[in-house]
Amino acid sequence: MNKNNLANNIDALLDQYFKDLSDETAKDLYGIVITSIEKPLLLYVMNYAEGNQSKASQILGLNRNTLRKKLKLHNIET
Rounded distance, CA 54 to CA 28, Å? 32
Crossing angle of helices 29-48/53-60, nearest 10°? 130
In a domain, 34, yes or no: yes
Half-sphere exposure of 65 (CA within 13 A, CB side): 0
Our count of domains for the chain comes to: 1
pTM to 2 decimals? 0.78
Mean pLDDT of 24-40: 92
Give the domain CATH number at 24: 1.10.10.60
Mean pLDDT of 17-41: 92
Per-residue pLDDT at 59 exceeds 60: yes
User: Predicted confidence band at 50 (pLDDT cuts at 50, 70, 90)?
Assistant: very high
Rounded distance, CA 18 to CA 37, Å? 17
Task: Kindly give, in sequence order, each residue whose CB lies less than 8 Å from that of residue 76, ignoring residues fewer than 6 positions away.
Answer: 39, 42, 43, 46
Per-residue pLDDT at 1 exceeds 60: no
In a domain, 78, yes or no: no
CB distance 77 to 45 below 8 Å: no
